[in-house]
Amino acid sequence: MIGVRCGVCEKTYFPPRMICPDCGRVSIEKMERFKFSGKGTVYSTTVVHEAHEQFEMQKPYVIALVELDEGARVLGQIINCEPNEVEIGTEVKSTLRKLGEEGRSGIIYYGYKFVKI
Amino acid sequence: MAIIGAGMTEFGELWDYSFREMGIRAGLEALNDANISSEQIDAMFVGNMSAGRFIDQEHVGALIADYAGLAHTNVPSTRVESGGASGALALRQAYFSVASGIHDIVVVGGAEKMTDIGDAEMRSIQSAAADQEWETVFGATFASLFALMTVRHMHEYGTTREELSAVAVKNHRHGALNPRAQFRREIKPEMVEKSPIVSSPLRMLDCSPVSDGAAAVVICTSEMAKQFTDQPVEILATAQASDTLALHQRKSITEMLATKVAARRAFDMAKMQPKNVDVAEVHDNFTITEIMAIEDLGFFPKGEGRKAAIEGKTAIDGEIAINSSGGLKARGDPLGATGVAQIVEIIQQLRGNADKRQVADAKVGLTHNVGGTGASVIVHILGAGP
Amino acid sequence: MDEGIVSYGAYIPRYRISPEEIGHIWGLDGASIAKGLMIEQKSVAAPDEDVATISIEAARNALKRTNVSPQKIGAIYVGSESHPYVVKPTGTMVAEAIEATPALTVADYEFACKAGTAAIQTCMGLVGSEMIEYGLAIGADISQCAPGDLLEFSASAGGAAFLIGSKDIIARLDTTVSYTTDTPDFWRREGQIYPSHGGRFTGDPAYFKHILACAKMLMEKCGTKPEDYKYAVFHQPNGKFPQRVAKQLGFAKEQIATGLLVTKIGNTYSGAIPLGLSAILDEASPGDRIFAIAYGSGAGSDGFDITVTDAISEFKRDAAPMVREMMENVKSIDYGTYAKYSRKILLAEE
């Protein structure tokens, strides 16, 4: 997970931004490439029972807001555990999984999901 | 600025009406109510979120102008979009066009036809108001984003399952009194809690339905309004605010900052305070959204909003009537039409035409319309005319 | 110079299904099939896993155990018979995920169950000829198998990655030989979802002929006997074949025990020898000698004579999960879930 850190106020952002929302213009050209460890804590969580077409096969699944150790917050699935094993405060780590595909003959796209640690 | 006419279709699964038919019906009712003819209309603004995906139709500004029988006057017609707040934003754009002096009489419409497609596809389209790249792509549905807010709200303020249910129960009770509402039957809290689970802890009856419908109002300057009606409704304030598209980029997810900012701007413009408001239509697309809204708008302190419905404070005869129409929950939520339908309800309340839903002595009303998970919020304050 | 394994990493998905569960659906005696194949359960990939995600997880585990910068990897080869794309390599996705791009060569390999070991041989050659400094060889599969076919009881999912180099080697790849013929014992035509096989033809004329021949070639070239090896690992399409071939060659049960994972995870095809080797390296000590013979239908065997070095004492095994851990935190699923996960259910849009 590669985001940025503001060279002025040190706040981290994911996904990467060109301007720090807090610092404004002074941060242009000062946003540094920042690699997150992938570790974080669950900030909020829900179990999705009614899903979009692409995700029908996975339900029920856990969607959570994860606060990464370095500060930024992201949204992702929590996998490899029972849905009721995830709550606010649960520690997780990112891993790479298939997110979906553009139909049976289209491109497959991959991204991060989180596992309980 | 004043509103001189209002109209709307009933909301629901309108299998027999097409998109254009609904738009016309609402428009005609508003024109009749305003007692004006189509030649007098200078411009139209149409709020619509996603006709392109729901019915494969874009360019709806032109479509509605055409089918409203206004095409022969070559009326300028503009489609306005900001997710679920498209209806209120259309009113705001109309307000500017009249305030600028360029147009005198403007029709504002809102319409959405959502039932021509399947459920899973509908959910995909609905979530287009969220962040497709960083939320939907991971499997977040629109409901799941509000569920995340609910879980956090319960964690930070102790909001309970019963308090959420009470919002749905209250709004259905109001809806039962509204002949244009999608749901006209009361429900019990147990029904909410036993309804199918959508995204924990939100259940089906915590969520507003899929609806078809259209609503319309006619606006002009307060001065000109006197020619048409002795019951004009004044637009005391129009305000708008934005926030991050994605939920995870907000500072707090137990409030909508855009609501707080838009409310402040609206009250400043109207030179009023929350306690001056008698009746309000707030964006209860989910039960939690009403709870957060009445806090963010300043009607209840943060953390106290959850008790309001269960304690009867937001009933028609309560401290402040919230969603006397039934809200999005019971009246229905055709995405682009909702913002205008909220205005229509306040107009009826301020004119004393709300029948069984009438809030006693309603003088000031407020509407609150949200796009996405709070990325756009538009607030209007209306007052009964002289 | 010496070429060898600098680091390694493995990955096995956490779902398992038992032969009894599979047999029950098809009206077969799952318990006796389990006994006949000597397979207690097999691993199943989740719907959001594929050979790319497994290869990436294994590669990342390998890199966690070493300080070698991924930018120094000059080649990546992924061997599998269930690559996500028929055209578009898995290797490039691995390369991006581990930040090895852009100065490297990549290709995907196919040779049934020995595509992973072919990748190891290629890396040995590139490193030995000094064309590259480090190479990454991966064998991984989420093998398809026709519903109701006997293969359904054994074809499973998993893989492992090997970082090959000439510095700080933890296990020297001293000798490799291969025995290859054209033998159509098991195949899958372009466009077909499930493979076909020649039933009993897959035994003596295929598996046994090639492994035995390759094993003999290897021991002849190295001048060794079975007793010279601490560990041995043979391709394992079921539990019976590797035990029989070990016996025929003169290897003891204790020698093949550590690498014999099939009883608990099934046949991971291109992942089989890589995973077996990983399990061995998880516990091997300096000086241990390993005899490994892979087999791929079509057909061929790759044999390796490997010696563990002193460097393994300093090796950061704990920096990534060991094979044994991946066998512990498992979840059993029923046939319906298995069919859903392995896309055997015809969905509305298809």
Note the pLDDT tens digit of each residue in B138-166.
999 999 999 999 999 999 999 999 999 99
Is the domain of A83 the same as that of A29? no
Is the domain of C149 the same as that of C61? yes
CB proximity A52 to B under 8 Å: yes
- C3-56 confidence digits (pLDDT tens): 999 999 999 999 999 999 999 999 999 999 999 999 999 999 999 999 999 999
Q: Which tops the pLDDT comparison, B37 or C226? A: C226
Distance CA A17, CA C333 (A): 42
- B68-107 confidence digits (pLDDT tens): 777 778 899 999 999 999 999 999 999 999 999 999 999 9
- C109-158 confidence digits (pLDDT tens): 999 999 999 999 999 999 999 999 999 999 999 988 999 999 999 999 99
Is the domain of C158 the same as that of C251? no
Is the domain of C185 the same as that of C301? yes
Kindly state the helix (H) or strand (E) to which residue B121 belongs, with its residue range.
helix B119-126
Is the domain of A62 the same as that of A29? no
Q: Do B138 and A63 touch (CB under 8 A)?
A: yes
Measured CB to CB, residues of chain C less than 8 Å from chain A are: 14, 46-50, 52-53, 56-57, 84-85, 93, 97, 340, 347, 349-350
Distance CA B184, CA B275 (A): 30
Is the domain of A9 the same as that of A50? no
Taking CA atoms, what residue in A is nearest to B139?
A55
DSSP-assigned letters across all residues of C48-116? T--HHHHHHHHHHHHHHT----GGGEEEEEEE-S--S-SSS-HHHHHHHHTT--SSSEEEEE-BTBTHH
Is the domain of C85 the same as that of C190? no
Reported ipTM: 0.94
- Total domains present in chain A: 2
Structural domain includes residue C139: yes
What is residue C127's predicted lDDT score, i.e. its pLDDT?
98
**Four-point Cα dihedral C302, C305, C309, C313, nearest 10:** 60
Is the domain of C284 the same as that of C162? no
- Is the whole model's pTM more than 0.90, yes or no? yes
The position carrying tokens 């709070």 is B374
Is the domain of A26 the same as that of A69? no
Is the domain of A65 the same as that of A104? yes
Give the residue numbers spanning the domain of C236. 172-312
What is residue B386's predicted lDDT score, i.e. its pLDDT?
65
Is the domain of C134 the same as that of C25? yes
Return the SS3 of C231.
strand
- C186-216 confidence digits (pLDDT tens): 999 988 989 998 888 989 999 999 999 999 9
Residues of A with Cβ-Cβ distance to B200 under 8 angstroms:
46-47, 49
Is the domain of A48 the same as that of A77? yes
Is the domain of C202 the same as that of C282? yes
Query: SS3 string of A5-74?
Result: EECCCCCEECCCCCCECCCEHHHCCCEEEEECCCEEEEEEEEEECCCCHHHHHHCCEEEEEEEECCCCEE
Q: Which residues of chain A register pLDDT less than 70?
A: none
Within 8 A by CB and 6+ apart from C30, the residues are C18, C19, C20, C21, C22, C23, C24, C153
Percent of chain C having pLDDT more than 90? 94
Is the domain of C259 the same as that of C155? no
What is residue B315's predicted lDDT score, i.e. its pLDDT?
97
- The distance of Cα A111 from the centroid of its chain, to the nearest Å, equals 9
Give the residue numbers spanning the domain of A17. 2-35
- B361-385 confidence digits (pLDDT tens): 999 999 999 999 999 999 999 999 7
Distance CA B164, CA A113 (A): 30
CATH label of the domain that carries residue C152: 3.40.47.10
Is the domain of A56 the same as that of A14? no
The answer to whether the bond into B196 is cis (omega within 30° of 0) is no
Helices and strands: H and E segment counts in chain B: 14, 12
Is the domain of C235 the same as that of C249? yes
Is the domain of A107 the same as that of A72? yes
Taking CA atoms, what residue in B is nearest to A54?
B139
Question: Domains along chain B?
Answer: 2-118+211-225 (3.40.47.10), 130-208+234-384 (3.40.47.10)
CB proximity A79 to C under 8 Å: yes
Return the SS3 of C327.
coil
Structural domain includes residue C43: yes
Structural domain includes residue C349: no
CB proximity A19 to B under 8 Å: no
Is the domain of A68 the same as that of A55? yes
Residues of A with Cβ-Cβ distance to B120 under 8 angstroms:
51-53, 56
Taking CA atoms, what residue in A is nearest to C341?
A57
Structural domain includes residue C235: yes
Is the domain of A58 the same as that of A15? no
Is the domain of A18 the same as that of A46? no
The answer to whether the bond into C206 is cis (omega within 30° of 0) is no
Percent of chain B having pLDDT more than 90? 91
Is the domain of A45 the same as that of A88? yes
The position carrying tokens 């009489």 is B105
- B250-303 confidence digits (pLDDT tens): 999 999 999 999 999 999 999 999 999 999 999 999 999 999 999 999 999 999
Mean per-residue pLDDT for B332-349? 97
Q: In angstroms, what CA-CA distances link C215 with C158, C177, C218, C260?
A: 25, 9, 5, 17
DSSP-assigned letters across all residues of C146-209? -TTSGGGGTB-EEEEEEEEESSS-SEEEEEEEEEEEEE-SEE--TT-SS-EE-GGGGIIIIIIH
Is the domain of C242 the same as that of C148? no
Mean per-residue pLDDT for C322-350? 89
Is the domain of C207 the same as that of C77? no
- Total domains present in chain C: 2
State chain A's maximal CA–CA distance in angstroms: 47
Residues of B with Cβ-Cβ distance to A36 under 8 angstroms:
none
What is residue B313's predicted lDDT score, i.e. its pLDDT?
97
Is the domain of C207 the same as that of C146? no
Within 8 A by CB and 6+ apart from C276, the residues are C233, C236, C259, C260, C261, C292
Structural domain includes residue C222: yes
Exposure on the CB side of residue A110, measured as CA atoms within 13 A: 20
Structural domain includes residue C347: no
Query: Mind telling me how many Å the CA of A68 is from chain C's nearest CA?
Result: 19
CATH label of the domain that carries residue A73: 2.40.50
- B171-216 confidence digits (pLDDT tens): 999 999 999 999 999 999 999 999 999 999 999 999 999 999 999 9
The position carrying tokens 């095409």 is B71
Residue B63 near residue B44, CB atoms below 8 Å:
no
